[in-house]
Amino acid sequence: EVQLVQSGAEVKKPGESLRISCKGSGYTFTTYWISWVRQMPGKGLEWMGRIDPTTSITYYSPSFQGHVTISADKSISTAYLQWSSLKASDTARYYCARLENSCSGGSCYTYWGLGTLVTVSS
Amino acid sequence: DIQMTQSPSSLSASVGDRVTITCQASQDIINYLNWYQEKPGKAPKLLIYDASNLQAGVPSRFSGSGSGTDFTFTISSLQPEDIATYYCQQYDSLPYTFGQGTKLEIK
């Protein structure tokens, strides 16, 4: 069974750094890109960027370029999203996901983690 | 970036009603469009892929249609468990983009 297991909720202060994680299991981690998606409180879904776990090549949405860093460690099947200096406006739930349709048995699937809630408050 | 304009932003309907949500892309995305259902506290669930294909296990009252720039998502007979927020998402080109979401409520 494909699973993306995300790290637990975080409460941080403005200016602090943070790295959250997403561990893939049930499939070959290096086969599929991992995307990160933000959902601010009461708002919609925003695609932040993705990483190829094999090469660590990344693509960022222009809205998030320079504000976050996406990385991966293929040896432990884990992707990361990190901030060097958090702001209150980073308060959101962050999902990792395999968004490229994966098809088998006559249907296609995408896979999502349950999300990591990040709260930034002084 | 491809902009996805989804409407309405909210919708109130009665059980048994036919519900329609539209999504318009700012450029041709062929049929590279998914529809998701999001319920509170849960990850988004894929309902429709490639604009019109029902994902396995999803009730047949859900359907999608369209190609190019104009897409439609339909629930043929609204059920109480369909209360959720629905999103379209294009995957024709990076950056992927979502519609603004449609919050569906029971009247």
Mind listing the pLDDT tens digit for each residue in B35-83?
A: 999 999 899 999 999 999 999 999 999 999 999 999 999 999 999 999 9
CA gap A60, A51 in Å, rounded: 9
| Chain B residues touching A109 at Cβ < 8 A | 46, 55
Q: What is the reported pLDDT for A109?
A: 87
For chains A and B, CB pairs below 8 A equal 62
Of A44, A108, A110, the CB nearest to B87: A44
Cα(A90)–Cα(A119) distance, integer angstroms: 7
Residue A49 pLDDT more than 90?
A: yes
Residue of A nearest to B103 (CA): A44
pLDDT of residue B12: 97
CB A31 within 8 A of CB A93: no
**Would you state the structure tokens that stand for residue A1, as one six-digit string?**
């069974």
- Chain B contact for A102 (CB, 8 A cutoff): no
Query: A6, A116 in Cβ contact below 8 A?
Result: yes
The predicted structure's pLDDT at residue A102: 86
Tokens of B47: 């309902």
Distance from CA of B38 to the nearest CA of A (A): 10
Angle at A11 between CA A75 and CA A110, to 5 degrees: 45
> For A63-69, what is the mean pLDDT?
97
